[in-house]
Structure formats: C-alpha cells, structure tokens
C-alpha cells in the first residue's frame, strides 16, 4: 500500500476512535438519580434507586435479602439479592458491588438488610452458590447469622458496620418509604 494511503487510513482510524471515545465515556458515567417521590419496583437480582421521598417495593421476598441504602439527601438505592441467580440479573456475589457503584461518592446515612436472614450465609455475598464447582461444599447456614450478614454487607459497600441493620422479615412484599 502506498504511504499516502496508509497515512490516510491511520488518520481516518484515529478520527473514528476520537468520535467513539465520548460515547464510551458516557456509558461509564453513573446513572442519574430517579426523580423525587417515584415508586420503584426492584425484582430479584436487580438494583435501582428512587429520589428523595420515593418508595421502593421489593415483590415476593421469600428466600431473598433486600439491601436498602438510605442516602443523606433522602434518596434510596436498593438491591433484591437472590439466593440463586435469575437469568440476566446480578448474582449474590456481584450485587453489592453494583449497589456501591450506584451509590458512588454520595453520603450514606444507613443501610437496611431485610428478608430471609436464616437462609443466607454471609459468604454468599463473596461467592454465590452458582460459583461452587462439582465436589465443592456449598456452605449452608445452620442458624441465622445477622452479625455475619452485617459484616459482609458493610464490607461489600465500604460503610461502617454500625450503619447496617439486619432484620428477619417474613415472606411477602416489602415496601420501604
């Protein structure tokens, strides 16, 4: 290929890359907060947020845990952590990182963990049940471990343990206002 043609291809490739760079950067930016007073429904394996005055509804919490982060501005970021991964949703060992990313640098006032406390090993937040291979023993809880869950959630979110509360809640829908 003649040198001018190669140079032209290089210039064209660089121009295309520069045009695509802002679009790629836009994808990596945090999602803007939801409007105030919105009601958000968070199903298994999902993370979402509502603005100040909003409500989060977690439907059909049976063997799941919900994690609600109350931000200083009144907004809430919520996660519906499932024991078993729902296709296309977060696994239990990735959901706290997704919450932490969604919270970003905003100030956290409190974190509430609710649901089937006795069904959860704190380790499920670092290694999901699906991550265990053939022959590996999956840890099954023999009794509720609210303190272990508090430590796991606080560590996963990078918040003080004192900011996290854990409550065993019977099966059903959960509404957080």
DSSP 138: P
Q: What is the pLDDT of residue 170?
A: 86
Q: Which two tokens stand for residue 145?
A: 């471990």
Closest by alpha carbon to 113, among 152, 40, 164? 164
CA–CA separation, 118 vs 113, rounded Å? 13
Q: Which two tokens stand for residue 26?
A: 């836009």
Closest by alpha carbon to 149, among 96, 109, 86? 96
CA–CA separation, 132 vs 83, rounded Å? 13
Q: What is the pLDDT of residue 37?
A: 67
Block means of pLDDT (10 residues each) for the chain, 177 residues, are 44 38 38 68 98 96 97 97 96 98 98 98 98 95 97 98 96 96
Within the chain, where are the H helices?
A: 3-28, 95-103, 146-157
Q: What is the pLDDT of residue 14?
A: 37
C-beta of residue 83 within 8 angstroms of C-beta of residue 129: yes
């Amino acid at each position: 290929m003649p040198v001018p043609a190669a140079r032209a291809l290089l210039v064209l490739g660089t121009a295309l890359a520069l045009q695509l760079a802002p679009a790629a950067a836009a994808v990596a930016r945090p999602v803007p907060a939801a409007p105030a007073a919105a009601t958000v429904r968070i199903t298994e394996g999902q993370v979402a947020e509502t603005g100040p005055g909003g409500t989060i509804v977690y439907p059909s919490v049976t063997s799941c845990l919900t994690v609600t982060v109350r931000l200083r501005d009144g907004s809430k970021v919520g996660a519906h952590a499932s024991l078993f991964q729902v296709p296309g949703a977060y696994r239990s060992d990735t959901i706290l990182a997704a919450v932490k990313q969604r919270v970003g640098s905003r100030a956290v006032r409190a974190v509430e963990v609710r649901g089937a406390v006795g069904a959860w090993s704190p380790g499920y937040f670092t290694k999901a049940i699906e991550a265990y291979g053939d022959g590996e023993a999956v840890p099954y809880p023999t009794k509720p471990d609210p303190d272990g869950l508090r430590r796991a959630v606080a560590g996963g979110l990078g918040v003080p343990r004192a900011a996290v509360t854990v409550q065993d809640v019977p099966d059903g829908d959960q509404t957080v206002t």
